[in-house]
Amino acid sequence: MADGSAPYPIVSGNSLCFRLGGRRAWVKSDGSPSRDAFVLRMNHDTDGLSVSLGTVTNGEAASKILSKTYAVWWLIVGEIRTVGSGFARPVDVIQDADDHGIIAGLPPSDVDLLLAENIAKELSLRAHCCWPTDAASYTPEPILK
């Protein structure tokens, strides 16, 4: 950590983390995520994909973090780790603040597009919509802060 304090402990495999749908194109008509929600964006996601965790314990709280949020999905950290098993770089969730972490170890799409898309698809299949709560009849409209 930049301030010299001890890093956060390893995130338990039973922990939940929340991926925020900050782009309309990431949200399918049923509220589930497209795989693009889990692909590293070039020149943007240099460390990994942001997730909310720790002091953020539900979709409603997570939905208030970005200025525009179209959906929030929860994932189990242990399931994220299984997606990365067998790859040269293990995929993991690393906590870096009280309410934030990253999905680390994802391949950049400009280096290995096929692998990046395959992992993103697997992550999207493990993500469950938790905000808004009525995802079955969901039309993406942002919540503005």
pLDDT digits (tens, 9 = 90+) for 87-141: 767 899 999 999 999 999 998 888 889 999 999 999 999 999 999 875 444 455 5
Number of domains in the chain: 1
Tell whether 9 is covered by a domain: no
pTM: 0.84
Tell whether 65 is covered by a domain: yes
Measured CA angle at 71 (ends 74, 37), to 5 deg: 75
Tell whether 80 is covered by a domain: yes
Cα-Cα end-to-end distance for the chain: 29
Tell whether 2 is covered by a domain: no
b/e code 42-73 from CB counts within 10 Å (16+ = b): eeebeebbbbbbbebeebeebbebbeebbbbb
**Domain that residue 119 falls in:** 16-133
Question: Looking at the predicted structure, is the pLDDT value of residue 1 above 50?
Answer: no
Tell whether 143 is covered by a domain: no
Q: What is the pLDDT of residue 140?
A: 52
Tell whether 141 is covered by a domain: no
